[in-house]
Structure formats: structure tokens, C-alpha cells
Amino acid sequence: MALLALAGCDGGEGETSDEALGESECELAVELAGELSWSGADAPACVIPFAGDTGITMVYSAIDDALVDRLELELEEITEGALGAFPAAVTIFAEDGRAWTSAGCTVDITAHALEGEDDFSRMYKVTGSGSCAEPASPAGGGAAAEVTISAFELRFPARW
């Protein structure tokens, strides 16, 4: 098993564990095992999503020489400011082109705080935790076996 930790911000009352997440605005703590076991990224990046009326896709992107190119978390049913449990899909992309996906995930959003706004959008900090009831199945690029996704904690900036 391996640990992926991507940049995030400090937790607070009602948010996920400070032990799992660090102090930047964008973080993901998860373990991957199976065909792809990953030890994490030293210098990850977060693609800040612009959401529509519903749904958001958060892209956690490794910018070092990690085996994982990016991990995408899709929350199709979430709306601006919403809290609670949402169905989710996790897709993992390896640096060599292999891909895996699991649609059997759930994310519990515990904080969805308005941080500010500009002429184009409202900026939020989203915090929560999730799990996948099924492993990620091969989804292309020569992936041949499943990847297990541990329970995870997350934080990311979002624009609505």
C-alpha cells in the first residue's frame, strides 16, 4: 500500500482529521494497492475546478516523477455550498498511460465554506472524507488488474 498526500489547508471544527491532511488548500490522503501501488508525490498540484449548477470534478495532479500522473474525483450531484454524502467516481491515471476507475465511491462533504468572490465566481474550500465500496477496475492504457482505493480524506478549492 502507498500514501498519496497532496497540498491542503488546516482543519477545524467539523472538518476532517488534521493528522491526515496538512495545511494547504488542496490535499488528498489515500492509499493505493494492487496493480498500482503508489508511495505518493513530493510536489503535487491541484487543478481548481469551475463548477456548473451541479457537479464538480477535482483533479489532483502529481508534478514530480511519481507513478501516478493524476487522480480525478467526480462528484456529479453536489451543488454550491452543499454538505452531506454524495456518490462519487475516482479515476486514477498512471504516468505510463494505464487508467483505472471506480464508480462505487461515496464522499461525505463536512465543510463547504465560502472563502470569497470575484467578478466571475464564488470561491469555496471543500473538505470531507470518502471511501470506495469497490476497487478501481482497468479503464484503458493496458491496465490489467484492479487497484484498491483506501478510505480517503480530502480538501480542495472550488469555484461556483
pLDDT digits (tens, 9 = 90+) for 30-54: 889 999 988 554 446 788 878 888 9
Please write the tens of the pLDDT for every residue from 72-82: 999 999 999 99
**How many folded domains does the chain comprise?**
1
Number of H helices and E strands in the chain, helices first, is 0, 11
Q: Region 151-160: what's the mean pLDDT?
A: 91
Phi, psi of 120 (to 5 degrees): -110, -25
State if pTM tops 0.85. no
Percentage above 90 pLDDT, the chain: 61
For residue 40, the model assigns a pLDDT of: 56
Q: Map residue 146 onto helix, strand or coil.
A: coil
Range of 68's domain?
Answer: 2-159
* Closest to 60 measured CA to CA, from 2, 124, 4, 121: 4
